[in-house]
Structure 1
C-alpha cells in the first residue's frame, strides 16, 4: 500500500514538472505525461517497478477518462446531426477501417488465428483525438464554424463506433454471429439499465442534494463505479461500464453540474492513466520506430481520403472539406484505450502496441501545429488542387457567379463575409424592404451560406474575402455600400481593419461599414477608411437595458411576447 502511494506521488510530481515544460514550449500535455511515465517507469530510471501499481493506476485513470468521455457525448446532437455530418462520419469510419485492414494485412500484420494486430490498428487509426482537437479549436475560436461543427460531429460518432467495438472486443477470438449477438445483448441490457435508472431514479435523488456539492461529486462517482460493476457482472469490462455511465448522464438534468464537479478529479486520474501508459513503453528499437512512422503516415493519408473526399462529393467546397481532414489527422487517446484492451486480452503483440503509442506521440505533436496553422495549409492546398484541375464551388459558370452575373458586375450593396449578424440583416431587409434584396451581393466561402443564399435568389459569390481576386470578381470596385459584418475573432487570414484598407484601395467612393470587436479598434477602422463602425456590444447593451426596464415595470411578459413574435417571423440563413 505504501509503495502504491509512493508511486502515485512520483507520477504526479513528474507529470507536473514535465507538464510545465510542455506548457512553456507549447507542446501537448499528453506528450509530457507519457514522457514522465517513461522516465520514472521500469524502462527508464526504474523508480516505479511494481506492475501491480502500474495496473491499478492505469485502470483507475482509464475508468475516469471513459466516464468523462461519456459525459461529453451529447445524444441529442447525434440525433440532430445533419446529413453532411452523418455521411462524413460514415465515410471516414468505414473507409478508414477498410483501408486500414487492407493496408496493415498488406504489410504483414496478423489478422485472425488469435492475432488481431491489423484489426486493432485499423480501429485505432480510425479514431481522432477529442482532447487535442477541442483544445486547439477552442483556442482558435473555430468550434462554432462549419468545419468545426463537422469535426465535432465526426468525433462524437467515432466515440459511438468505439463503444460498439469494445462491446464485441472480448469475443474476437470466437467471433460467431451468436457470440456477437450475445455481446450486443449484454451491452443493450447495460445501456437500458443505466438509462432507466438515470431517467427515473437519479433525478429526484440529485434534486434533494443539489445544494450539497460534496454529495453531487460522491453521487457521480458512486454511479460510475456502480455501472462499472454491473458491466463486470454482465461479463463486460468496468471500463465499458464507466463509458455507459457517462453517456447515460449526458442528458441528465444535472449533467452540467456533475461534469463541473468531476472535472478536477478527472484531470487527476487521466494524468495518472497517461503516465502509467508511458511506463509500459520500452525504449524503442528500429522496427518499432519504423512501424510507428508507417502508422502515422497511414493515419494522415487515410484522413485525406476518407474525410476530404466524402465532404467534397457532398459539395462542401475545398476549404470546408480540407479543414476537417486536417483537424482529424491524429490518433485518439481512445485509440490507446482500445490498444491496451487488446494487449490485456492477448489479441495484439506488445511490439505493435508500443508502435501505436509512439505513432500517437508523433501525431499529437504534428497535429497540434497543423491545426494551429490549418488556415495557411488550406490556402496552399487549395491553390495546388485548383492547379491540378480540382474544382471548387465557384466553378459552376466560369467568369460568372451562382446567380449568373458576369464577371465584375457586382451589386450596389456588398456584404463581405456572412455570419449571424448578416443573416439577421438579410431577414430584416426581406421583412421591411424586399426590393432592396435584389441590390445586395454576398461574398463568403461557407458552402451552407452559398447554397442557401442561392436558393433564396440572393446574388452570392463563393470565395475568400481576404483574396483580392475574389473581391474584384465580386464587384467591390462598383459597389456603393460595402458591409464587413464578421467579427475579427472569426476572420481567417485578415482583420476588419486590414479589409477596410484593402477595400478602400479598390473603391475610393464606396461607403464602408465595418465591425469592431473592441472599442479601441474603432479609431483604427476610421483611420483605415471606414465610414461607419458597428460595435455590437452597444446594441446588445441597449437591448439588455430595455429588458431590465421592462422587468422593473412588470412588463417582462409583454417584452417576451414581443420578441417571440419577432423570432417567429425570422427566416434566417443561419440559425
Structure 2
C-alpha cells in the first residue's frame, strides 16, 4: 500500500494534462482519462504497475460512481413515466438483450460453462452513456424537448435494469430460480432497510447538522460505505450497496445538498476509476480491434432498431423516433462497471473486456459528433425512410381541422403560428379564454407529435412539418395568410433562426404581417431589416412583470397579486404545461 499515494499522484497528473488536451480538442474527458491510464499503466510506460494500487483505485472509483448514479435516479419521475417512455425503454432493453445474446453467441462468444461473455456484452451494449448524453443535450438545450425527455426516461429505465442485473450477477454461474429469488430477496431487504432509515432516521440527524457542511458530507459518505459494506456481507457487492445507498437518498430532503457536496469528491474518484480502467487495457491485437468494431457496430444498429421501432409504432413520427435512437447509440460508463464485475468474478475473458473498452472509446467519440449534428442527420434520413414506405405524421391526418377531416396543405388560414413551444401554448390558451372564434382562423405548424395530436383533438388546424423547410411553408399556404407569428426563440429553433424564417416567409408572402421573436436586443434591428413587421422581446415583458411584483410587495399587496395569478392559472388548458 506504500505505493498508493505516488500512484494516485501520477494518475491525477496525467488525467489533468490529457484532460486539458481533450477539452481544447472538444473530445470526451472520459477518453482522456482512459488514455492517461494506458500511458502510465503496465502496458504503457509502466510507471504504475502495482496491481493492488490499480484494484484499490478502481474499486473506490466504482463505489463513488454508483453512489452518485443512485443519487441522481429520480424515483418519482420513474413512477410518472408515460407509456411512450415505458414502451421505448422496454423495447430497447428487452429487444437489445435478446438480439445481443443471439448475435454474440453466433460470433462464437461463450454463453455457458462458467463463461458468460455474450451475456455481459449484451447487457453492456443495452446501456447508454448518461454522462455523454446529458452533457450534449444540455449544451444543445434539448433536455426539455420531447426527444430529450424520451432519451432521459429511457436512461432512467436502463439504470433500473442495471440494478436488477447486478443483483443476479454474482449467481450467474449457478443460475437457478431459487438462487435468483434469493439474490433479489437480499436486494429487496437491503433496499427496504435503506429506504426506511433514509426516510425516518437520517432526516432528523441531518437536520441537526444542517449548519455544519463538513458533517453533511461526512454523513453522506458514512451512509454510502455503511450500505456498501452491508451489501458485501449479504453476498452482493460493495458497488451494488453504493448504488442502493444513493437511490435511498434520492428522495431525501437534503439530497440536493448532499449531491452538491459529494460531486467534487465523486469527480475525483470517477477520474481515478477511468484512469485505473485505462491501466488494464493492453496494446490491442487485431482480434481485439475486430471484436471492438463488431461491438460498436452492433450497438449502433441494435439501438436504431430497438429504440426507433417502438417509438414509430406508437406514432411518434419519424423525427421523434429517430432522435432518441441516435442519442442513445453508445455504450455506458455503467457498461464498463458491469464488465469489471464480470472480470472480478471470472465470468468474462480479458480479451472480451478489452474489446468492450475499445468499443466504448470509439462510440464515445462518434456519438459526441453525431449528437452534435443529429438534426441534420435526421433531416437527411427522413426522405429515404419515406421513400421505402415508412409514413410520417404529415401523411397520417395532415392538417386535421375542427371537423376531424383532412385539411389540405395549401388551405390558407388568416393567422399562422410557426413553431409551437411554451409562448405559443400560452397564446392559444389566452385566445381560448378571450376569443374562441379566432381559433378557427389559426393554423399551427410544428413537428412535435404531442402538439400535433393535442391541438388536433381540440379542433385546431395543425400541420405536422419542419418550419425550417421552405417546402413545408409553401405547402402550408403561407403565401395566402395575413399574419405569421414566430414565437420560438433562436436558442430553441432547429435548423433555422428567426431572421432566416422571416426572410423565407417574406419571400413567399410580401404583404403579410410578420411577428418575430428576438433573443438578444442586437437581433431586433436585423429582424426588421429581414422583413419583420413587429419584434417581441420577452425580457421586456418579464421585466415589467417582475417590477409589478416589487411594487405589490412594497405596497403589502403581494398576496393579492398571487391570488390574481392563481385565478389566471386555474382554468388554463395549455398544451405544454
Q: 8 Å contact 2:61–2:270 — kept in the other structure?
A: yes
Q: How many Å apart are 1:2 and its aligned residue? A: 3.4
Structure 1 partner of 2:533: 531
Alignment of 1:436-475 (within 5 A): 436-475=438-477
Structure 1 partner of 2:423: 421
Q: 8 Å contact 2:398–2:462 — kept in the other structure?
A: no
CA distance in 2, matches of 1:407, 1:30: 48
CA distance in 2, matches of 1:400, 1:267: 51
Q: How many Å apart are 1:555 and its aligned residue? A: 1.5
Q: For residues 199-237 of structure 1, give each alpha carbon's deviation from its aligned partner in whole angstroms, at most 9, with x where no partner exists.
A: 111111111222221111111111111111111121111
Alignment of 1:167-178 (within 5 A): 167-178=167-178
Q: For residues 323-378 of structure 1, give each alpha carbon's deviation from its aligned partner in whole angstroms, at most 9, with x where no partner exists.
A: 00000000000000000000100111111000000000000000000000101110
Q: 8 Å contact 1:403–1:454 — kept in the other structure?
A: no
Q: How many Å apart are 1:383 and its aligned residue? A: 1.4
Alignment of 1:274-289 (within 5 A): 274-289=274-289
Alignment of 1:175-324 (within 5 A): 175-324=175-324
Q: For residues 142-175 of structure 1, give each alpha carbon's deviation from its aligned partner in whole angstroms, at most 9, with x where no partner exists.
A: 1010000000000000000000000000011111
Structure 2 partner of 1:154: 154
CA distance in 1, matches of 2:464, 2:250: 38
Q: For residues 6-58 of structure 1, give each alpha carbon's deviation from its aligned partner in whole angstroms, at most 9, with x where no partner exists.
A: 00000000000000001111110000000000000000000000000000000
1:411 to 401, 410, 413: 413
Q: For residues 434-482 of structure 1, give each alpha carbon's deviation from its aligned partner in whole angstroms, at most 9, with x where no partner exists.
A: 0000000000000000010100001000000000111011111011110
Structure 1 partner of 2:371: 371
Structure 2 partner of 1:108: 108
Q: 8 Å contact 2:432–2:439 — kept in the other structure?
A: yes
Alignment of 1:415-564 (within 5 A): 415-564=417-566
Structure 2 partner of 1:358: 358
CA distance in 2, matches of 1:542, 1:245: 46
Alignment of 1:61-76 (within 5 A): 61-76=61-76
Structure 1 partner of 2:91: 91
CA distance in 2, matches of 1:375, 1:424: 26
Structure 1 partner of 2:134: 134
Q: How many Å apart are 1:548 and its aligned residue? A: 1.6
Stretches of structure 1 that go unaligned for 5 or more consecutive residues are: none
CA distance in 2, matches of 1:474, 1:86: 34
How many corresponding residue pairs? Answer: 575
CA distance in 2, matches of 1:387, 1:410: 28
Superposition misfits of 4+ residues, deviation over 6 angstroms = 398-402
Q: How many Å apart are 1:398 and its aligned residue? A: 7.6
Q: 8 Å contact 1:400–1:407 — kept in the other structure?
A: no
- Secondary structure of 2:454's match? helix
Structure 2 partner of 1:120: 120
Distance 1:444 1:399, change over 3 A: closer
Distance 1:325 1:435, change over 3 A: same
Return the TM-score normalized by structure 2.
Answer: 0.98
Q: 8 Å contact 1:292–1:355 — kept in the other structure?
A: yes
CA distance in 2, matches of 1:237, 1:423: 49
CA distance in 1, matches of 2:108, 2:255: 46
Q: How many Å apart are 1:282 and its aligned residue? A: 0.5
CA distance in 2, matches of 1:358, 1:388: 35
Q: How many Å apart are 1:141 and its aligned residue? A: 0.6
Q: How many Å apart are 1:90 and its aligned residue? A: 0.3
Q: 8 Å contact 1:403–1:460 — kept in the other structure?
A: no
- Secondary structure of 2:413's match? coil
Q: How many Å apart are 1:551 and its aligned residue? A: 1.6
CA distance in 2, matches of 1:348, 1:129: 22
Return the TM-score normalized by structure 1.
Answer: 0.99
Q: How many Å apart are 1:400 and its aligned residue? A: 7.9
Structure 1 partner of 2:79: 79
Structure 1 partner of 2:4: 4
CA distance in 2, matches of 1:335, 1:265: 22
- Secondary structure of 1:441's match? strand
Structure 2 partner of 1:23: 23
CA distance in 2, matches of 1:259, 1:566: 36
- Secondary structure of 1:382's match? helix
Q: How many Å apart are 1:269 and its aligned residue? A: 0.3
CA distance in 2, matches of 1:378, 1:326: 9
CA distance in 2, matches of 1:553, 1:220: 44
